[in-house]
Structure 1
Amino acid sequence: MIADYAQSNTLMKTLKSIILIIFIFTISGSPILAEGDAGQGSVFLLGVDARALGMGGAFVAVTSGASSIYWNPAGLGLLDKTEVSLLHITLWEDTYYDFVGIAYPTLNFGSFGIGAIRLGTNNIIRRDIFNQPGPSFDNNFSQYTFSYGATFPLFLKGGLNFKILNHNLDNRTATGFGLDLGILATPTNYVSWGFNWQDIIEPELKLQTTEENVPSNLKAGIKLSHQFNNQSILVAFDIDKTRSRDIKIHAGGEYGLFETLFLRGGFDRDYATLGLGIFYNFMQADYAFKFQNDLGNTHRVSLTFKFGTSVSKRREVRLERELQGKTQALQTEKGNKVKQFLKEGENFEFKKDWFKAFISYQKTLAWDPENSVALAKVDNLNQKLYQAKQPKTEIEINSLLAENYLKVAQEYQNRQEFNPASILIQQAIKLEPQNQKVLSLQRQILKSQYDKILELERKGVEFYNKGNYAEAILAWNQIIELDSTHLAAKSNINLASAKIKLASYLKQGIEYFNAGDYSMAEKQLNLTLSIDPKDQTTQEYLQRVRARTAKKTTLEDLKKDSEIWKIYQEGLSQYQQGNYQEAIDLWNEVLKVYPNNENTLRNIQQARARLQKKP
């Protein structure tokens, strides 16, 4: 009886091994099931990231992290921090599906990613024609992906993947190369769409005499999302078309609570999926379950780690360094020029060439108008020039000086160094007010300076509108260097600097909130409100913080506080008159005293919804 049981157990394991081999070859494009829709397809159709799998694989327009390496490389354009993603799926009978990916965002050149996927079955029993066991062997598929994603105009992100595929079966090996193209559009915070054309260049795998191409695949999808109070809702829909196969459908949704707990569900081709996610501090853990009656249900687990300084913070730091560096460079250049022309003047004085010495000291004053040494030298040499009477008249002296000022000013003008050029040309005008050459160069300098300012103004506004506040500040700072009285540039610099600080404070506040440090979150969010008291996102997060830390209150509690009850009723009156923003402002005053009042929070939510629909 024991022998019968052992024989039966061995037979079952053999049958399971055969089923697994068929499964792997089927999804890898083997002609074992080459008829109808069960033909060729990528071996890696399971995807990566348990979050995506819990949503039925509808992720082309959702992805934004390291898993973009698989779902859509354009999603790397949304990456804000360095991210590492790990996935493990246990299939059947020593069959595993694993993914590891890392993505890094740069400041100027988009984001880069590297990923590796492995699907393999180990210890497959080799049997002879008499069904006798022999040495075991492995069957493994690997894919190594090098990804790039970047942001483009018109809310578009684009990305490319270069892939190396490898198949090891027993002692045979095949290698192929593939190329993916992805596009992602994010026109609003609520809607995004994208597509990922996988294997535009179809990888060719050849095991001895068997040669196959991995067919190209086109994934296209749309995402709709909305966030309100402490909750978020996301729905996504994808279509999936592999060459020579029917279109497959993916659909899924995600409900988020406090940006910490996420519940998911979806439909992946012909199977239902469920998922759960928890995000805390810098780590996100996701779990997905897929119902598969034919081969058995599967569990998927992934971990995502976000670390390092955010792109926005790095840009802020870079801007400060650039401004400091530029200021230091200007001061250094100014100091070098002053030393150069002072030395030059001293050399001419030593040679008793008063005229050239006078010009050198005037060059010094063009760079440093308050230089005491140059001012004293100019005054002294001015007297020497007229006493020397080498030119016979004062008019001739003035003409020579003006001519030299004109020559040096022209050199500065050619190098677009308008400030010293303007100072020198003013000196020439004092000597010869009617000199047409001098007046003509003055007009050229003023026009060139005006054109340069217009160009910098245009660039500054363009950068600002795109949210590139650091570049905008650099452009406006150059305007100040050309015209220190330019009030608009000064005002714009203050505005852009405030935007950068606001974004930095808000981001830190949200990070503290997600990490559960509500005290620090409130501190950072209050700093944000000090810059923009009406920032809606900040107000929403402050309400979330207070909702977490304060006890709940009812309408009865408000009625007991006559002053607050009066403000609350005034908010209702403004709401009924259609003055939704005024109502929100009043109810926010109520929340300062009763931060977790359900009636007030609900009223604000409704007022904001009406405000968005108001023309």
Structure 2
Amino acid sequence: MNYIKSLAFMALGYFGVLSNVKAQFRTYSNEFLNIGAGARALGMGGAQVASATDATAGYWNPAGLAYVNESPSFAAQHAEYFSGIGKYDYLAGAFPVSNGQRTLGLTMLRFGVDDIPNTLFLVNPDGSLNYNNITSFSSADYAFLLSYSQFIRNDDDLQISFGGNAKIIYRKVGTFANAWGAGLDAGLMIRAHKWSVGIMAKDITTTYNAWKFHFTDAEKQQLYLTDNDIPIKSTESTAPSLLIGGAYNFEFSEKFHLSTEASMNFTFDGQRNTLISGKPISIDPHLGLEANISDRVFIRAGIANFQRALKDGDTLNLQKTWIYQPSLGAGFRIGNATIDYAFVNLANQSSPLYTHVFSIKFFLNRKKDY
């Protein structure tokens, strides 16, 4: 009984959120686009803006796609969060054109939650509960990124590339609401023999989601009786953000390298609970390591999402401490394919909520490593 009541309040709250969407910048808007792409990146705490040079670069920094200049590259990932409640799928391809002078990329993302209880008609007009009226619906977010990249300079000692994304977003909540959105990203990457720098400007034109609502007359009546507004349409805007990162490769021997990377995510949509929190700019750092053994075996670790939170069990003094999300990962390269795994903590180090992520990436007829 308590479980059903909780679901009822959750569903009514969900409709309340939908009814209060307004045309404004919203902190954490389109957050499904910030989950990540590829188990290599997730195992390194999401520090990738300076090192992604395969198909995953369309997500992390489209300038890195310029390094896919000999043969097509592909990447795929499936992950389930919160014991399978949320499902995340990622698929990407990068395709050299103009004799390798330019690279096009295509990325597809989906995050969905199925079997959400619809308790809108749980309560009968006489106040009694009818559990047979509980139905279910799905909520899913989709994104499609079309990428372009090319070199500005491509010498043996220094390479400079730029790239951009045109993205289309589609979000759907059952039969009740759907939204279309569009935006642009731009990236720059500078690489030398041992170091690299990456810059990724996301949503540079502001990404707008235009929502439309499709409630039936019976649903509108029920929303009215439960003191909920009945929305018709609204606009949700995602403010621009900036990622700046640097990576360095330590070559201890011909068969053992250690890559380090750090990136800073600058957001401008209001004060966030991050390591550097302010108005209107907040900064969220990401740190990652990767040990490369003979270019066949990879061991990874990362730290991200630094936040201030109450100490465990401290509800009286309200003392706060720093928490963070650690991650570990590994990869195995077999021919032109690499299978990656990440062990990711979705919560923090004191209250762990772990999930397993697998992904694969491969090149067709790859001749040269970068």
Instruction: Give the TM-score range, shorter chain.
Output: 0.7 to 0.9
1:235–1:254 contact (8 Å) kept in structure 2: yes
Structure 2 unaligned spans of 5+:
124-128, 213-232, 271-281, 307-324
1:225 corresponding residue in structure 2: 249
Select which of 266, 270, 276 maps to 1:241. Answer: 266
1:178 corresponding residue in structure 2: 183
Shift of the 282–10 alpha-carbon distance from structure 1 to 2, 3 Å rule, reads: farther
1:61–1:192 contact (8 Å) kept in structure 2: yes
1:99–1:118 contact (8 Å) kept in structure 2: yes
* Matches of 1:268 and 1:30, distance apart in 2: 29
* Matches of 1:49 and 1:18, distance apart in 2: 32
Please state if 1:149 is matched with 2:149. yes
Pairs within 5 Å for 1:534-553: none
Q: Could you say what secondary structure the match of 1:224 adopts?
A: strand
Q: Could you say what secondary structure the match of 1:163 adopts?
A: strand
* Matches of 1:239 and 1:19, distance apart in 2: 37
Please state if 1:115 is matched with 2:107. yes
1:41–1:242 contact (8 Å) kept in structure 2: no
1:139 corresponding residue in structure 2: 139
Q: Could you say what secondary structure the match of 1:201 adopts?
A: coil
Following superposition, the deviation at residue 15 of structure 1 comes to: 8.3
Query: Partner letter of residue 113 of structure 2?
Result: T
Select which of 256, 259, 263 maps to 2:295. Answer: 259
Moved more, 62-71 or 97-106: 97-106
Following superposition, the deviation at residue 95 of structure 1 comes to: 1.3
Please state if 1:83 is matched with 2:73. yes
* Matches of 1:224 and 1:146, distance apart in 2: 29
1:214 corresponding residue in structure 2: 238
Select which of 361, 364, 369 maps to 1:304. Answer: 361
* Matches of 2:71 and 2:201, distance apart in 1: 26
Query: Partner letter of residue 194 of structure 2?
Result: Y
Q: Could you say what secondary structure the match of 1:200 adopts?
A: coil
Shift of the 108–275 alpha-carbon distance from structure 1 to 2, 3 Å rule, reads: closer
Pairs within 5 Å for 1:467-482: none
* Matches of 1:19 and 1:285, distance apart in 2: 42
Query: Partner letter of residue 257 of structure 1?
Result: I
Pairs within 5 Å for 1:584-603: none
Please state if 1:66 is matched with 2:55. yes
Between the two proteins, the alignment pairs up a number of residues equal to 297
Select which of 290, 296, 309 maps to 2:344. Answer: 290
Q: Could you say what secondary structure the match of 2:66 adopts?
A: helix
Q: Could you say what secondary structure the match of 2:193 adopts?
A: coil
Following superposition, the deviation at residue 42 of structure 1 comes to: 3.2
1:126 corresponding residue in structure 2: 118
* Matches of 1:21 and 1:74, distance apart in 2: 38
Query: Partner letter of residue 290 of structure 1?
Result: V
Shift of the 287–175 alpha-carbon distance from structure 1 to 2, 3 Å rule, reads: same
Deviations 1:398-433 (A, max 9, x none): xxxxxxxxxxxxxxxxxxxxxxxxxxxxxxxxxxxx
* Matches of 2:14 and 2:43, distance apart in 1: 26
2:345–2:352 contact (8 Å) kept in structure 1: no
Following superposition, the deviation at residue 73 of structure 1 comes to: 0.3
Query: Partner letter of residue 87 of structure 2?
Result: Y
Following superposition, the deviation at residue 304 of structure 1 comes to: 0.6
Larger Rg, first or second structure (1 or 2): 1
Please state if 1:57 is matched with 2:46. yes
Q: Considering Cα pairs closer than 8 Å and 6+ residues apart, tell me whether 1 or 2 has the greater RCO.
A: 2
2:329 corresponding residue in structure 1: 275
Following superposition, the deviation at residue 180 of structure 1 comes to: 0.6
Moved more, 136-145 or 209-218: 209-218
* Matches of 1:18 and 1:210, distance apart in 2: 20
Select which of 50, 75, 89 maps to 1:98. Answer: 89
Q: Could you say what secondary structure the match of 1:66 adopts?
A: coil
Following superposition, the deviation at residue 9 of structure 1 comes to: 5.8
* Matches of 2:28 and 2:50, distance apart in 1: 27
1:40–1:244 contact (8 Å) kept in structure 2: no
Q: Could you say what secondary structure the match of 1:51 adopts?
A: helix
* Matches of 2:259 and 2:190, distance apart in 1: 16
Pairs within 5 Å for 1:157-556: 157-171=161-175, 172-186=177-191, 188-208=192-212, 209-227=233-251, 228-245=253-270, 246-270=282-306, 271-293=325-347, 296-308=353-365, 310=367, 507=368
Shift of the 18–190 alpha-carbon distance from structure 1 to 2, 3 Å rule, reads: farther
Deviations 1:172-213 (A, max 9, x none): 221111111000001x21110011101112221122323201
Q: Could you say what secondary structure the match of 2:204 adopts?
A: strand
Query: Partner letter of residue 135 of structure 2?
Result: P
2:228 corresponding residue in structure 1: none
Following superposition, the deviation at residue 290 of structure 1 comes to: 1.7
Please state if 1:47 is matched with 2:67. no
Normalising by structure 2, report the TM-score.
Answer: 0.73
Deviations 1:502-539 (A, max 9, x none): xxxxx5xx89xxxxxxxxxxxxxxxxxxxxxxxxxxxx
Following superposition, the deviation at residue 295 of structure 1 comes to: 8.4
Shift of the 124–181 alpha-carbon distance from structure 1 to 2, 3 Å rule, reads: same
Shift of the 243–30 alpha-carbon distance from structure 1 to 2, 3 Å rule, reads: farther
Shift of the 285–10 alpha-carbon distance from structure 1 to 2, 3 Å rule, reads: farther
Shift of the 98–68 alpha-carbon distance from structure 1 to 2, 3 Å rule, reads: same
* Matches of 1:139 and 1:299, distance apart in 2: 22
* Matches of 2:35 and 2:119, distance apart in 1: 30
Following superposition, the deviation at residue 218 of structure 1 comes to: 0.8
* Matches of 1:20 and 1:182, distance apart in 2: 38
Runs of 4+ in 1 over 6 A off after TM superposition: 15-22
1:17–1:124 contact (8 Å) kept in structure 2: no
2:277 corresponding residue in structure 1: none
Shift of the 87–21 alpha-carbon distance from structure 1 to 2, 3 Å rule, reads: farther
Following superposition, the deviation at residue 65 of structure 1 comes to: 0.4
* Matches of 1:125 and 1:85, distance apart in 2: 34
* Matches of 1:30 and 1:301, distance apart in 2: 35
CA RMSD of aligned residues (A): 3.0
Shift of the 273–109 alpha-carbon distance from structure 1 to 2, 3 Å rule, reads: same
